[in-house]
Amino acid sequence: MGEQPQPQGWYDADIERIVVSEEQIQTKIDELAKQVAVDYAQHDSVLLVGVLKGAFVFMADFARALGRQTRPVEIEFMAVSSYGARATSSGVVRILKDLDRDIADKHVIVVEDIVDSGLTLSWLLKYLESRSAASVEVVALLRKPDAIKVDVAVKYVGFDIPNEFVVGYGLDFAEHYREMPYIGVLRPSVYSRV
Ligand code: PRP
């Protein structure tokens, strides 16, 4: 069989520029999983805590990559909403969905799609530590160094990207584009459509 053309997604026409390709993402996830597997080799299991909604795609790929590194993973999700944090820098976060169980003495890795201002993560790390996790680290697929407002330790970072609005791979614009397998910048015409 010859090389098949990539199927087109409905979203491709809305994308001005690809920031991180599907192949780059998948290669990076394998690298991150290998690194985590080495760092956590002495632990029986790792508890991944995904931050909804954005992290659901990265969580699915990262968990499977880690499993292939023979690390058993447990999975939890939280959903939080920042109370206008972007406007006020208040960093006040409301829990929309809490952990389903106790995380005391667990080795937790927070799985985030993107660290933007860092406010969500900064709050979340304090919260998880207050729940007596044995350790808490972070894996973030994307980070915007120029948008950081609070210093937050992210041990595992996929890609540092410029401070521009991106969609795809879990990240949305008005709840669309989360299913895109790559990260891209929208065409300006998309914004004038809504
Ligand atoms: C995004 C992202 C992070 C947060 C990062 O979530 O998934 O959780 O923002 O931003 P910060 O570093 O400035 O705090 P969002 O609030 O857009 O919700 P969603 O994941 O449901 O789309």
CA 182 – CA 20 distance, rounded (Å) = 6
Compute, in angstroms, the gap from residue 108 CA to the centroid of ligand 1. Answer: 19
CA 166 – CA 103 distance, rounded (Å) = 32
pLDDT of 170 above 80: yes
CB burial readout 91-129, b (16+ within 10 A) else e = bebeeeeebeeebeebbbbbbbbbbbbbbbbbbbbebbe
Percentage of the chain beyond pLDDT 70 is 92
If one residue of 58, 120, 143, 149 were mutated to test the ligand 1 pocket, choosing by the most ligand atoms within 8 A of its CB, it would be: 120
pLDDT of 91 above 80: no
- Nearest ligand 1 atom, CA 147: 13
User: pLDDT digit string (tens) for 18-62?
Assistant: 999 999 999 999 999 999 999 999 998 899 999 999 999 999 999
pLDDT of 97 above 70: yes
- Are 26 and 89 spatial neighbours (Cβ–Cβ below 8 Å)? no
Q: Residue with the nearest Cα to atom 7 of ligand 1?
A: 54
- Are 151 and 124 spatial neighbours (Cβ–Cβ below 8 Å)? no
Average pLDDT (182-194) is: 92
User: pLDDT digit string (tens) for 56-77?
Assistant: 999 999 999 999 997 789 999 9
Residue 11: its pLDDT value, please? 97
Q: Residue with the nearest Cα to atom 20 of ligand 1?
A: 54
- Are 171 and 183 spatial neighbours (Cβ–Cβ below 8 Å)? yes
User: pLDDT digit string (tens) for 150-169?
Assistant: 989 999 999 999 999 999 99
pLDDT of 124 above 80: yes
- Are 36 and 156 spatial neighbours (Cβ–Cβ below 8 Å)? yes
Residue 5: its pLDDT value, please? 67
Residue 87: its pLDDT value, please? 45
pLDDT of 85 above 50: no
Residue 88: its pLDDT value, please? 46
Residue 3: its pLDDT value, please? 66
- Nearest ligand 1 atom, CA 91: 14
CA 84 – CA 1 distance, rounded (Å) = 53
Provide the edge-to-edge strand list for the sheet that holds 107-115: 93-97, 73-82, 46-52, 107-115, 135-143, 156-160
56-68 and 22-39 are packed helices; what angle lies between their axes, rounded to 10 degrees?
50
Average pLDDT (83-103) is: 76
- Are 66 and 58 spatial neighbours (Cβ–Cβ below 8 Å)? no
pLDDT of 1 above 50: yes
- Nearest ligand 1 atom, CA 120: 14
CA 27 – CA 62 distance, rounded (Å) = 11
* CA-angle at 50, arms to 177 and 7, nearest 5°: 30
